[in-house]
A and B are shown apart, each in its own frame.
Chain A
Amino acid sequence: MSEAFPGPHGGPATGHVPVLRLGEVLLVTLQGDLYDSTAQQLQQDLAETISRSGATGVIIDISGVEIVDSFLGRVLAEIAGQTELLAARTVVVGMRPAVAITLVELGLTLPGVHTALSTEVAMALLTEHAPSSRYGGLRRESL
């Protein structure tokens, strides 16, 4: 965490975050420092993977991330938005208290993003409310 985040086009160019497929759900685990370019690459990868595989949910585990800046906050919101357009749902999992406080202080409450405390809960949410039973609806507050 000693280094500053490079600009959107700075940093190593080959930063691919692995996207794991578990049935209908895609699982992404973010760890430690996340460069802006890596986050953008992930956004692109996710969009392509969802449209190719027809996944109905995306779980982004950020329990290993200690710093979320406004850029990453926006990327998360955008991922949620594009996933929604592709008929899937995004659940952000395991946000640390300090990160949550920072985001709220920055005014980023990520209104369109679903959240869960653990991947287990997130899996349950996504499988319970698969798009076929869409009318049941996943809890989704906007603040």
Chain B
Amino acid sequence: MAGSPTHEVRDFLRRRREQIAQRWADEPLFRAVFTVSRDEAVEAGKAVVDALAQVADAGRVEDPDAAGFTAVREQLARMGAARSRAGLSTAQVSSELATLRPPVENLLLSDLQEATDTHVRDCVTTLSVLMGTLRVVVMQTALSEGQALIDRQRLQLLEVATPVIKLWDGIVAVPLIGTLDSARSQVVMETLLESIVEQQARYAILDITGVPTVDSLVAQHLMKTVAAARLMGAECIVSGIRPAIAQTMVHLGLDLGTVVTRSSLADALGYVLHQLGVGIVTPGANGTVTR
């Protein structure tokens, strides 16, 4: 009678579209996402059934990249995201998706009462594979959403975390915050050198108070920045090395060479002002002057 299991499943999905969507609308996944109206859930269910039928029609039940899923990908992503926002882990969302399979399978079995055992088994297997692929698609969209978020935030971090501050005429400072990797230190170096030219700064202070750890790689980045600034005619001072970090650096045998270091940004500024011949005086209460 019927053709291949794939086509049998496709015909079944098209025939039973309405009933499947109705049953899915009662499942927790659809109920939780489409809280406003049940009709909306049914419509969404129908769209998913259509997509599955199209994928089965193309004979690509095992392919999560099948063209049939394109239409519902966004909707599935929205559903996945809604469940994640509700505090469900990826595994929990996945198991909620698994609950969509039994109702469809029951419908399929009741439709195939006349068929031979082998054919029934083949059809059920095909349906299971198809539903499994649907789960993969949802997981995929959830993961790529997360990846996109991470990429966006990394870019933001690059922009936000490297301000160059003018402290005085001819003095600029960069407060470094967070872990320094190659990409970030490159950005730091470029922005610092640009602002040295722009401000005609003879002194640049690199403050590493906000850098949690200093390993040989970070030290190397610092040395490179200092060397590049020197080539341009500016002197670099590294400040904000915390006691623990100073200890680690000595243990690791890291040598900052002839780089001038100071424990705090204030000390570094004091040193630079002294080099520039600028003095800061504090007038005392009785008119005396303390330096």
Contact = CB atoms under 8 A, between A and B. Distances in A.
Interface of A: 92-97, 99-101, 103-105, 109-110, 115-118, 121-122, 139, 141-143
A105 B193 CA distance: 15
B65 interface: no
A101 B196 CA distance: 13
A109 B234 contact: no
Contact of A109 (B189, B202, B231): B231
A104 B228 contact: yes
Question: Which residue, B224, B226, B227, B234, has most C-beta atoms of chain A within 10 A?
Answer: B227
B195 to A, nearest CB: 9
A109 B193 contact: no
Nearest to A73: B231
Given A101-B189, A143-B223, A143-B258, A117 B231 contact: no
A104 B200 CA distance: 20
A3 to B, nearest CB: 25
B258 A100 contact: no
Nearest to A99: B231
Given A100-B232, A143-B227, A143-B258, 7 more contacts: A94-B233, A97-B228, A100-B229, A104-B227, A117-B196, A143-B226, A143-B230
A115 B233 contact: yes
A82 to B, nearest CB: 20
Nearest to B193: A97
30 contacts: A93-B233, A94-B232, A94-B233, A95-B233, A97-B194, A97-B196, A97-B197, A97-B228, A99-B231, A100-B193, A100-B229, A100-B232, A101-B189, A101-B193, A101-B228, A103-B231, A105-B224, A110-B231, A115-B230, A115-B233, A116-B233, A117-B200, A117-B202, A117-B233, A122-B233, A139-B235, A141-B258, A143-B223, A143-B227, A143-B257
A136 to B, nearest CB: 14
A93 B233 CA distance: 7
A117 B258 contact: no
Nearest to A117: B233
Contacts of A103: 228, 231
A115 B231 CA distance: 6
Nearest to A113: B231
Contacts of A117: 196-197, 200-202, 232-234
B272 to A, nearest CB: 13
Nearest to B198: A97
Nearest to B192: A97
B190 interface: yes
Contacts of B190: 97, 101
Given A95-B233, A115-B233, A121 B202 contact: yes
Please name the 4 residue pairs, one residue from A and one from B, whose CB atoms are nearest each other, closest first: A97-B193, A115-B233, A100-B228, A116-B233
A104 B231 CA distance: 9
A95 B223 CA distance: 18
Question: Which residue, A100, A104, A110, A122, has most C-beta atoms of chain B within 10 A?
Answer: A100
B227 A95 contact: no
A117 B193 CA distance: 11
A122 B233 CA distance: 9
B108 to A, nearest CB: 64
Given A97-B194, A117-B202, A141 B230 contact: yes
Contacts of B189: 101
Contacts of A93: 233
